[in-house]
Structure 1
Amino acid sequence: MASLPVTELSDRARDIFRRVVDGYLATGTPVGSKTLALAGLNLSPASIRNVMGELEGLGLLASPHTSAGRMPTERGLRLFVDGMMQATEPSPEERAQIEARAGAAGPVEEALATTAAALSGLSACAGLVMVPKREVRLRSIGFVGLSPGQAMAVLVSEDGSVENRVVTLSAGMNDAALIEAGNYMTATLGGLTLAEARARLDRELTAGRAAIDGAARALVEQGLAVWSEDGDRRPVLIVRGQARLIDATALADLERVRELLDDLEGKQEIASLLDSAAAGDATRIFIGAENKLFALSGSSVIARPFRGPGGRVVGVVGVIGPTRLNYARVVPMVDFTAATLARLMG
């Protein structure tokens, strides 16, 4: 159904509709005509009910029970978000908290995860950050013996992050071979991505130019294979704060919560949704069934891309929560987080 322009509503209908939406987003419960009459509307409950009935006929409001008040439909929420919402900018304290998490020292993935956690805590939703599979660029590689049959492979990337993997050693592998393998990898493969390193190693071995003995060569190949395989499986989506989706009102609708948590487990589908938000510059808002992924759980996603050097999109940040989330507060918060991450990536 096409969205109804807000200008087609009378001033009275627009005021009543806005009050119903504000009340519902604040409490999670339908809003009745008596409540609106007591809130300062210079109208009788009967007159308010008539207007609410008209809004229901337009598909903007719905009544869950015959005697209950009204609540906005997903179409009504879309009208409110697009044409009536008055955004509330993050407070200085909220901005400082997001900036502190995003600027924390350490690997980029850790900063993204703590930023998602901060956004989750401030928005009372689950925080989401999606980034492409990171191309690890090598700075140095070393091997430390753990036992006669195992060694710890230590990879230091150019961004300062350190990763460790346990590798199995072939019979007779000694400390000298471990040192030789590490020195060779650092000297020959430093500055390359994993894919580039594997390609160079293949060329060196094929041409017989690899100045390294057989045992150390096998260790070099194994080390690269372990990291490359792990990199292929590296998650592209960081989700923090799923527990915040289970609030007092959600407990009354446990099936919706179960559907939502199941959706969050399907990270590839979530990643595809966020990827669609990366196509533009503006914040995207997906409300309920507007995206088939959340048609059953009745959830909303607010997402915005952030850019790195050269203006290239390097990720998407956002939140997921119930359709009754506080759009006016959360949308600017997501915008600010995206701008903060863009400065981090710059």
Structure 2
Amino acid sequence: MTNTPITEMTTRAQDIFRVVVESYLDTGAPVGSRTISKAPGLELSPASIRNVMQDLEELGLLAAPHTSAGRVPTEIGLRLFVDGMMQAAVPTQEERDAIESQITERGPVEDALRATTSILSGLSSCAGLVLVPKREPLLKQFSFVKLSEGQGLAILVSQDGGVENRVLDLPPGVSESALVEAGNYLTARYGGKTLSQALATVDGEISAGELAIDKASEELVRAGMVTWSRDPSDRPVLIVRGQANLLQDNSALADLDRVRRLLDELEAKQEIARLLDNARDAEAAKIFIGAENKLFSLSGSSVIAAPYKDGDGQVVGVVGVIGPTRLNYARVVPMVDFTAQTLSRLLTK
């Protein structure tokens, strides 16, 4: 391993290292001295290039896979390149339009987040990730609808436009007026609160017999709140889309075990969520490369993630992508940054 900074490398070593990394990220294939010698501006013989590549290998920045005469960057080399040499590209107008078209004010925020993961996945050819805001939305309206004599639907609408429906068992003989009264009572009493706050308050009021409604409506409120009693912290906090893209990488078929391990890791959403949470304090996109994180030490994957904020400037979530370490970092990093900025603009309106 090495902590060699770019400034301590000779100009020749920097040029050769850059060509190796950029060629590898583009093709996924080991890069040989003959290929490097054809790069414009180098004007070095293959022998001279091989000597420099050997030096870079001894520094831990390059490696020779199997019996190949070419070299590929190590994860340490990729980190050095990303932090000190990479020239990030600006997202194209087409890419910006594609992202902004999915992040709109119409509909629940959750829909925009799901659309965000899908568009990021498609543009980056990786799997898209969005860590959903941990804070609970404020409630706006409750209502009950009878589906049959014994079953009904409890409908909860949040102030950000989100809607959740739960099927519940209705008390015997409950009337339509009781359905309306129970919904109106909950809306008037708990609108503007979070679900956790509403659950805690209504439970105490039911126990103390303090509900200012008739017995039939009280039973309906009790049944309705039971359907919402699952702890909100147990809800999925991570949206993942585009896992199939991970099988499209040129190296995927040659290393199916790696891809299989990565897909298994994506199933463990809580672990991925904890990793993304580490990017909450970043000013811009944060990059996790391979074994730098224990979660991906086996699958050899990279994560690019950036935080997004609400109208108060508070970080509420993280958006990003996950894929093989051979990513087009120069293109994907600013794309993730732009997506986070667009989500922040949505949440400030």
Is the Cα–Cα contact under 8 Å of residues 204 and 210 in structure 1 kept in the other structure?
yes
- Residue 38 of structure 2 corresponds to residue 38 of structure 1: yes
- Residue of structure 1 in register with 2:27 after alignment: 27
Structure 1 residue 103 displacement after superposition: 1.4
Superposed counterparts of 1:262-277, under 5 Å: 262-277=264-279
Aligned-residue CA RMSD (Å)? 1.6
Structure 1 residue 2 displacement after superposition: 4.5
Structure 1 residue 225 displacement after superposition: 2.6
Distance of 1:307 and 1:189 partners within structure 2: 26
- Residue 129 of structure 2 corresponds to residue 128 of structure 1: yes
Structure 1 residue 164 displacement after superposition: 1.4
Letter in 2 for 1:271: A
Structure 1 residue 37 displacement after superposition: 1.8
- Residue 14 of structure 2 corresponds to residue 14 of structure 1: yes
Distance of 1:5 and 1:119 partners within structure 2: 32
Q: For 1:6-59, what per-residue CA distance to the aligned partner results, in whole angstroms no more than 9, with x for missing partners?
A: 111111111111000011000011001111123343122122111111111110
In structure 2, do the counterparts of structure 1 residues 67 and 257 end up closer, same or farther at CA, with 3 Å as the change threshold? closer
Distance of 2:264 and 2:105 partners within structure 1: 31
Q: For 1:295-332, what per-residue CA distance to the aligned partner results, in whole angstroms no more than 9, with x for missing partners?
A: 00000011111111222111111111110100111111
What is the count of residue pairs matched by the alignment?
Answer: 346
Distance of 2:233 and 2:216 partners within structure 1: 26
- Residue 108 of structure 2 corresponds to residue 93 of structure 1: no
Query: Which of these residues, 256, 259, 266, is aligned with residue 258 of structure 2?
Result: 256
Distance of 1:158 and 1:293 partners within structure 2: 36
- Residue 285 of structure 2 corresponds to residue 286 of structure 1: no
Q: Is the partner of 2:37 in helix, strand or coil?
A: helix
Structure 1 residue runs of 4 or more that deviate by more than 4 Å after TM superposition: none
Distance of 2:261 and 2:57 partners within structure 1: 27
- Residue of structure 2 in register with 1:320 after alignment: 322
Q: Is the partner of 2:106 in helix, strand or coil?
A: coil
Q: Is the partner of 2:230 in helix, strand or coil?
A: helix
Gap regions ≥5 residues in structure 1:
none
Q: Is the partner of 1:216 in helix, strand or coil?
A: helix
Instruction: Indicate the larger mover: 193-202 or 240-249.
Output: 193-202
- The TM-score with structure 2 as length reference comes to 0.94
Q: Is the partner of 1:337 in helix, strand or coil?
A: helix
- Residue of structure 1 in register with 2:333 after alignment: 331
Distance of 2:120 and 2:274 partners within structure 1: 21
Structure 1 residue 104 displacement after superposition: 5.2
Is the Cα–Cα contact under 8 Å of residues 139 and 195 in structure 2 kept in the other structure?
yes
- Residue of structure 1 in register with 2:301 after alignment: 299
In structure 2, do the counterparts of structure 1 residues 2 and 65 end up closer, same or farther at CA, with 3 Å as the change threshold? closer
Is the Cα–Cα contact under 8 Å of residues 2 and 60 in structure 2 kept in the other structure?
no
- The TM-score with structure 1 as length reference comes to 0.95
Is the Cα–Cα contact under 8 Å of residues 194 and 224 in structure 1 kept in the other structure?
no
Superposed counterparts of 1:114-263, under 5 Å: 114-229=115-230, 231-247=232-248, 248-263=250-265
Structure 1 residue 207 displacement after superposition: 4.4
Sequence identity, in percent? 64
Q: For 1:60-109, what per-residue CA distance to the aligned partner results, in whole angstroms no more than 9, with x for missing partners?
A: 00001234300000010011001110110101111111111111511111
Distance of 1:198 and 1:316 partners within structure 2: 28
Is the Cα–Cα contact under 8 Å of residues 137 and 192 in structure 1 kept in the other structure?
yes
Q: For 1:132-157, what per-residue CA distance to the aligned partner results, in whole angstroms no more than 9, with x for missing partners?
A: 33413222211111111100112222
- Residue of structure 2 in register with 1:311 after alignment: 313
Q: Is the partner of 1:229 in helix, strand or coil?
A: coil
Q: Is the partner of 1:3 in helix, strand or coil?
A: coil
Q: For 1:147-204, what per-residue CA distance to the aligned partner results, in whole angstroms no more than 9, with x for missing partners?
A: 1110011222222222211101132323232222122212222222212222332343
Letter in 2 for 1:13: A
Distance of 2:68 and 2:302 partners within structure 1: 28
- Residue of structure 2 in register with 1:340 after alignment: 342
Distance of 2:206 and 2:320 partners within structure 1: 46
Gap regions ≥5 residues in structure 2:
none
Instruction: Indicate the larger mover: 52-61 or 158-167.
Output: 158-167
Is the Cα–Cα contact under 8 Å of residues 133 and 231 in structure 1 kept in the other structure?
no
Distance of 1:336 and 1:136 partners within structure 2: 25
